[in-house]
Amino acid sequence: MSKPILIVGGGPAGLAAAHSLATFGQACILVEKEDRLGGAPILEGYAKLVPSGEWARDAIGGMVDRAAGHELVDVKTETTVTSFTGEMGDFTAVLSNGDSVDVSAAILCTGFTHFDSANKPEWGFGTYPDVVTTTQVEQMISSGNGVRCLSDGRKPKRVAILLCVGSRDRQIGREWCSKICCTVSANMAMEIREELPDCHVYIYYMDIRTFGLYETKYYWKSQEEFKVKYIKARIAEVTSDGEKLIVKGEDTLVKRPITIPFDMVVHAIGMDPNVDNPQLSEVFGVDLEPHGYVDKANSYSASGLTNKNGVFVAGSATGPETIDDSIAQGKAAAMAVLEQRQLSARLVG
């Protein structure tokens, strides 16, 4: 049996890659810097996932059990990689715990970092307790406590969800679309309406990008069945009159300024490149693309290739990605590793 494969990051992509490789009899070492596996869906406490509707702890928790329970998967939590040297088929990785391991390849499944809303102070996050992020609302739902105003615990009567917080904004150097926030927000709006039928939910948008089949299941359904209201306006600022949050902007469809009182404002925060990407780039010798994500080669011949032979990449390390696609990419990268091993074995043999 050849040397193990190093998988960096235990989120959906890493878990999928580890399980696929182990299933084909390939040993792997799964390195995770946090104290638990599962990635953002587990660490950030997501509620029900899009599009399955399954609770994150069940769906991703199942992936964790399946990968971590496999005898060929060696899990190392609270561990990072400090150096990675050698060449395809013969790398040496030094881990933060001092261990040195010989591996034949690496798959970077290092994911993303949520945008920090404090970088858009005009939208009130950090100033008003009732301005929260989609991640916080996910936690309110997954904890079972329900959606409540953080200031006094009351049930909100009117909620505004602001899209593109930390996305599509040159002012803060983030030109990309984070891809999933529209769908997640539409889903969240329905969850709020389901829990609090008297609460009106407004989504302020520039464009709605519930791509593909999400159109019916999220955008149309949220309007047609849950009466969620969509207003085409990019909000200028969130202030307060002492009682309510005041959302100011221009309703572009009526060419009219708006100053609307709300109980709660939710930032649909985007996906930033992982803050560790500069170090990862240095350690593994992979290029970053201009936005700061790991640069991925085209995938016509093989999936998940980087500029460095023997280092593969999958999931939202390469840019904003859905959970489903991260899993698919993890599996594809695993297959690419096996393909390469097979090809080089033939050449040697």
Chain residues that interact with another protein, rule: CB under 8 A = 158, 200, 202, 220, 223-224, 227, 229-232, 251, 253-261
End-to-end CA gap in the chain: 15
Residue 201 or 333 with smaller CB distance to another protein: 201
Q: How far is the CB of 200 from another protein (least distance, A)?
A: 5
Torsion of CA 107, 285, 33, 179, to 10 degrees: -70
CA quadruple 253, 254, 255, 257: dihedral sign: negative
Residue 215 or 276 with smaller CB distance to another protein: 215
Q: How far is the CB of 174 from another protein (least distance, A)?
A: 26
Q: How far is the CB of 242 from another protein (least distance, A)?
A: 16
Give the whole-angstrom CA distance, residue 314 versus residue 294: 9
Residue partners of 343: CB distance under 8 A and separation at least 6? none
Residue 260 or 294 with smaller CB distance to another protein: 260
Residue 170 or 255 with smaller CB distance to another protein: 255
Q: How far is the CB of 102 from another protein (least distance, A)?
A: 57
Give the whole-angstrom CA distance, residue 111 versus residue 326: 9
Could you give the angle at the alpha carbon of 214 between the alpha carbons of 212 and 218, nearest 5°?
155
Q: How far is the CB of 284 from another protein (least distance, A)?
A: 45
Residue 69 or 257 with smaller CB distance to another protein: 257
Q: How far is the CB of 23 from another protein (least distance, A)?
A: 44
CB-count exposure of residue 197 (10 Å: 0-12, 13-18, 19+): exposed
Give the whole-angstrom CA distance, residue 301 versus residue 144: 46
Judged by DSSP in three states, 240 sits in strand
Residue 120 or 158 with smaller CB distance to another protein: 158
